[in-house]
Amino acid sequence: MKDDHLEELGKVNVPAASDKARQAALAAAMQAYDAAEETVAQQKNSSATQGNGFLNRLTVSAIQRMEKLMGTKSRLKTSTALASFCVLAIGGYASWAVLESMNPQMGAIRLETERKEAVAGQDDAIADSATGGKTASQNETRAVESQVRKSEEFMAPEPADRRQDLSAPADEPAPAPRIGELVNAQPEVSGGRAGGVLGALPSADGEADAAFAMRKVAPSVAPGTTVRDAIAPIDPPVIEEQTRDRIEEFASNGIKRVAEEPVSTFSADVDTASYAWVRRALKQGMLPDRDSVRIEELVNYFPYDWPGPDSAETPFKATATILPTPWNPDTRLLHIAVKGYDIAPQDRPAANLVFLIDVSGSMSEPDKLPLLKSAFKLLVEKLDPQDTVSIVTYAGNAGTVLEPTRVSEKAKILRAMDQLSPGGSTAGAAGIEQAYALAQEAFVEGGVNRVMLATDGDFNVGASDDESLKKMIEEKRRSGIFLSVFGFGQGNYNDRLMQVLAQNGNGIAAYIDTLGEAEKTLVQEASGALFPIASDVKFQIEFNPARIAEYRQIGFETRALKREDFNNDRVDAGDIGSGHSVTAIYEIVPVGSPAVSVGDLRYQPAEEGAVAHDAGGEIAFLKMRAKRPGEAKSELTEMAITDADSAGGLEAASDDVRFSVAVAGFGQKLRDLDAVAHYPWEAVEKLAATSRGADPYGYRSEFLQLVRLAKALDE
């Protein structure tokens, strides 16, 4: 179109657009679009793809949508040519958006076609309305953008993740287009190609299309804002991680008033499973489940240099220490450390071990059966040539993989381990019965006869309820065959059942998450795990009400016993193995301390027979009961705890005492107890760091790392 024609058009009075003209223009635009599609297909020498017939339906649908849109009260005072351009631009974009939502791979082809189709119509429209110069062009562009935004209400494209160009190469994405380039672009003709709104659209493999961006951004967009920055964030759906781990719930010990409950009774506990479970959670970037934190298992995880007995005639020895409480200056800590007799290697009895190994389908993960096999190989290397090893597996049906074999035939045992592979469901009860049968077959009089269960804890076939398995283990225990449990993996770990089996089988419950943990449990501490020096070990502490007003035991909630259970030899309790140690800690409130939380009763009579305040300076009285291996009657050991056991200041206590107190503080904070609510993680770390002492295997250094992780996760 020539310039003189533009001057003539500028003098023409523009009539109001009629509905008939709009419909005619829209139909012409859609027909032109369909014709362009056919031309593109012919140029690419390709056959019609599935869904091409949809273009005819799209034309009708677009006409109906645009009739509704163009029927609004808002009128565009422009020429018929400009109306045609608007319809063409909007119709082309709508078609592209719908097609792209149906097939992401068509996006690039559709966009290029629409741009070419827009050139001719936009050139004419700009020329016909150029009388107003640049201002008119800007007004027209804004009108087009307004219509595009209105059309969004009827033709919203699919979400971005369904509109990706699957054929695009996985290269570094191009810089995001600026909103100003999309919303505020001016029509510009260069080289036969129109700019403006359609010309500014990114390619199909770009960040997002212009309409999608304009639909998401606020009406006012700051200059220089990218599409990525302007698009309103869409929160992804929250998918809670599903787990079948089963942890026993329990309430933390509360404060006891000595005048009402002067006696505390509990069973020994040398298990360490909780510490490894807590460590795994923290290293995976999460705080552990509160109920998975058994404080006594955290404290007893570490080796301590407590004074031990001088001979096997005295199975264990207790040492008491009274020291200030780090988290409460108005209370004291009563620290009781018990050390078991450490059997010399030459005096160790022969061992008859049955490896009961879970090879069900759930054990296929690297931290389960593969780790289990490596762990038990370490144990085999630790055993003596005269010891006996058998292997039973269970998965669907229990089976004997290795009959009782002397460790002198080590190669045969290791080959049997290498052949294990996962598969099937978990017939745990049948496997236990088969393992006990083999242990009975190779029973060693005066020796150690033990089933060593290794599993992720999933018992889903057979006698799977905890009570049935508990009764089975109790019956086998009476025959002199004990059970230890080694847990592996996560996702379906039954910690609750593992605790029940170990406690009733006179064995330990350990959780092995790394080969290093396997080396600690089955090599460094093999004697303690395998060779008991005392069974049914019970503790009872009576506090002097003249000296102590209140007390709170830290940990041992799942090992609490009734007062009358202490003298009942029929009541089962924990065992102590060779060289094992047990540490128990009480927070005690002296009489007259401001920390006393419970007031005196008006009608409470003085307890008869109470020890006087000055009777030897006694603070509490400790009783211990235990059975020698193979014996049915327990022996009683007693010890008074007096002022002479006071360490004075916290710094005066030994490194082992202070480090164990730091671990107790760590466990209480993980359980979110009120007692340590104002005791910061930094104080826990400082106490542990200054009392680390000798650390040949790095366990205490690792603990410091866990404290720092817990602090970061708890903020």
Summarize pLDDT for 521-572 with one digit per residue, the tens. 999 998 888 888 999 999 999 999 999 999 999 999 999 999 999 999 999 9
Structure tokens, 492: 């379906």
Q: What is the DSSP letter of 357?
A: E
From 482, 502, 529, give the residue that closes a domain: 529
From 482, 506, 529, give the residue that closes a domain: 529
Burial class (CB in 10 A: 0-12, 13-18, 19+), 549: buried
pLDDT at position 600 is 72
**Within-domain flag for 275:** no
Within this chain, do residues 450 and 554 fall inside the same structural domain, yes or no? no
- Distance from C-alpha of 369 to C-alpha of 354, rounded to nearest angstrom: 17
**Within-domain flag for 236:** no
Within this chain, do residues 340 and 481 fall inside the same structural domain, yes or no? no
Q: How far is CA 521 from CA 200, 301, 516, 526, in A?
A: 67, 10, 9, 6
Average pLDDT over residues 371-387: 95
pLDDT at position 179 is 39
Could you tell me the CATH number of the domain that includes residue 408?
3.40.50.410
- Distance from C-alpha of 703 to C-alpha of 715, rounded to nearest angstrom: 19
CB proximity list for 366: less than 8 A, separation 6 or greater: none
Kindly state the percentage of the chain with pLDDT values over 70: 62
Within this chain, do residues 296 and 328 fall inside the same structural domain, yes or no? yes
Residue in the structure block whose two tokens are 């000595």: 258
Structure tokens, 35: 């014709």
Range in 74-78, 588-592, 605-609, 669-673 the model is least confident about: 74-78
pLDDT tens per residue across span 266-325: 999 999 999 999 999 999 999 999 999 999 999 999 999 999 998 878 888 999 999 999
Query: Binning pLDDT at 50, 70 and 90, where does residue 659 land?
Result: very high
Within this chain, do residues 502 and 555 fall inside the same structural domain, yes or no? no
Residue in the structure block whose two tokens are 């780090």: 326
Amino acid at 360: S
Write down the pTM of the prediction.
0.66
On whether the CB atoms of residues 97 and 209 are closer than 8 A, the answer is: yes
- Distance from C-alpha of 458 to C-alpha of 361, rounded to nearest angstrom: 10
**Within-domain flag for 381:** yes
List the one residue out of 96, 209, 200 whose CA is nearest residue 217.
209
Within this chain, do residues 178 and 199 fall inside the same structural domain, yes or no? yes
Helix H or strand E encompassing 698: none
Could you tell me the CATH number of the domain that includes residue 298?
2.60.40.1230
**Within-domain flag for 55:** yes
**Within-domain flag for 517:** yes
**Within-domain flag for 677:** yes
**Within-domain flag for 169:** yes
- Distance from C-alpha of 468 to C-alpha of 371, rounded to nearest angstrom: 29
| DSSP strands (E only) in 591-698 | 618-627, 635-642
On whether the CB atoms of residues 268 and 316 are closer than 8 A, the answer is: no
List the one residue out of 642, 591, 639, 638 whose CA is nearest residue 616.
642
On whether the CB atoms of residues 281 and 258 are closer than 8 A, the answer is: no
Tell me the sheet residues that pair with 504: none
Examine the pLDDT at 682 and tell me if it is beyond 50.
yes
CB proximity list for 558: less than 8 A, separation 6 or greater: 248, 250, 269, 294, 499
Domain range for 11: 3-230
Within this chain, do residues 306 and 377 fall inside the same structural domain, yes or no? no
Range in 156-160, 260-264, 466-470 the model is least confident about: 156-160
- Distance from C-alpha of 296 to C-alpha of 266, rounded to nearest angstrom: 12
| Backbone conformation region of residue 187, classed left if phi is above 0, alpha if psi is from -120 to 50, else beta | beta
- Distance from C-alpha of 326 to C-alpha of 671, rounded to nearest angstrom: 17
Structure tokens, 116: 């070419």
List the one residue out of 223, 243, 14, 194 whose CA is nearest residue 89.
194
List the one residue out of 532, 412, 417 whose CA is nearest residue 483.
532
Burial class (CB in 10 A: 0-12, 13-18, 19+), 172: exposed
Average pLDDT over residues 162-167: 41
Structure tokens, 400: 């004997």
Average pLDDT over residues 253-272: 95
Report the DSSP pairing between strands 509-512 and 482-488. parallel
pLDDT at position 646 is 96
Angle, nearest 10°, between helix axes 80-102 and 19-43?
50
- Distance from C-alpha of 264 to C-alpha of 247, rounded to nearest angstrom: 25
Range in 17-26, 499-508, 546-555 the model is least confident about: 17-26
From 506, 529, 552, give the residue that closes a domain: 529
Cβ–Cβ contacts within 10 Å for residue 46, how many? Answer: 9
pLDDT tens per residue across span 177-190: 443 443 344 444 43
Examine the pLDDT at 489 and tell me if it is beyond 60.
yes
Query: Binning pLDDT at 50, 70 and 90, where does residue 346 land?
Result: confident
Within this chain, do residues 27 and 50 fall inside the same structural domain, yes or no? yes
Number of domains the chain is built from: 3
Examine the pLDDT at 684 and tell me if it is beyond 60.
yes
**Within-domain flag for 244:** no
On whether the CB atoms of residues 477 and 483 are closer than 8 A, the answer is: yes
Burial class (CB in 10 A: 0-12, 13-18, 19+), 48: exposed
Within this chain, do residues 436 and 521 fall inside the same structural domain, yes or no? yes
Within this chain, do residues 549 and 519 fall inside the same structural domain, yes or no? no
pLDDT at position 564 is 97
Mean pLDDT of the chain: 76
Within this chain, do residues 89 and 189 fall inside the same structural domain, yes or no? yes
Burial class (CB in 10 A: 0-12, 13-18, 19+), 162: exposed
| DSSP strands (E only) in 288-374 | 316-325, 328-340, 351-358
Q: How far is CA 103 from CA 90, 97, 111, 146, 201, in A?
A: 20, 10, 13, 27, 19
Examine the pLDDT at 331 and tell me if it is beyond 80.
yes
Within this chain, do residues 509 and 546 fall inside the same structural domain, yes or no? no
Most confident of 44-58, 72-86, 223-237, 252-266: 252-266
- Distance from C-alpha of 295 to C-alpha of 298, rounded to nearest angstrom: 5
pLDDT at position 395 is 76
Examine the pLDDT at 582 and tell me if it is beyond 80.
yes
Within this chain, do residues 29 and 156 fall inside the same structural domain, yes or no? yes
Average pLDDT over residues 685-710: 96
